[in-house]
Structure 1
Amino acid sequence: MNIFDRYYPAIHGYAMRRLGCDLADDVAAETFLVAFDNRQRYDTTHPSARPWLFGIGST
């Protein structure tokens, strides 16, 4: 399973709870776009990308 498939539901759900349905799709998509653009900065020693993605999605 890739990072998008693994974490998209959690990121989207978080955005939906905080911002509503109208913005959740955009925020979740932008989160993964930023993550992809900055993938070289991710510390692969961490077992889960979830905290990193939530940090991106919260900004």
Structure 2
Amino acid sequence: NTFIRLSTALRIGGYTDGLISCNDRDFAIRALELGDLEIQYTRRVTVDWHINQSPDAF
């Protein structure tokens, strides 16, 4: 998962409307082009993802 400050997302203009795919890649490239971001990695699990076929599942 990627976390980014709202102020940074607003500086790059958010997601690009009209892209069929790769919107996350486009967003990341524009964010990195700012040149003032700090990238950090963690070996910890930060998200659990579950697949559930029930329409009532959250």
TM, length-normalised to structure 1: 0.37
Structure with the larger RCO, 1 or 2 (CA within 8 Å, 6+ apart):
1
TM, length-normalised to structure 2: 0.37
**Structure 1 or 2: larger helix share?**
1
